Amino acid sequence: PMGDASPLTGSFESLGLGSFGQSGTLAAAALVTGALKELPVDTCGYCGLMLPPLEDAGLARGAADGAYRIHDLLAYSAVCGLGLDTVPVPGDVPKAKLAALLLDVAALAFRLNKPLTAR
C-alpha cells in the first residue's frame, strides 16, 4: 500500500451495502464508475475506478483476510473497466492456471468490447 490515502474499501462500505467483497460490492463499483463518467471534466488516458490490492491498504487487508478472490475483482472490472490491477499471485502458481486466468480476462474484455488488463 502506498501513501496515506484512505482505503477504497472504506468508501465502498460507507454506502451501507456491507463489507467490500460481499454482495453489493459489484453494485457499488457500478455506482462509482457511473458517477466518475458523469463528472463534467476533460479526461486524458485512463479515467475510472481502479481496484489495486497492492496499492490500497484496505484492499490489501481484504485480500489477506480472504474477503474477496481474484475472480471477484475480475467480475467488478466488468462494470469499472480496468481489469486486474496489481493483484498478488503466489509465486508457485502453475503456468496453466495463470494462463487460464488471463483467458478469463481476455474473454470478458472481448465479450464486453472493452480493454481490460492484468498486471
Q: 19: which residues sit within 8 A by CB, 6+ positions away?
A: 9, 13, 62, 67
The C-alpha atoms of residue 84 and residue 118 are separated, in whole angstroms, by 5
Q: Give the type of residue at 90.
A: P
The mean pLDDT value of the chain amounts to 89
**Residue range 15-53, pLDDT digits in tens:** 998 899 999 999 999 998 888 888 898 877 777 788 999
> What pLDDT is attached to residue 2?
60
pLDDT at 100: 96
Residue 9 and residue 67: Cα distance in Å, rounded? 11
Given a cut of 60, is residue 69 above it in pLDDT?
Answer: yes
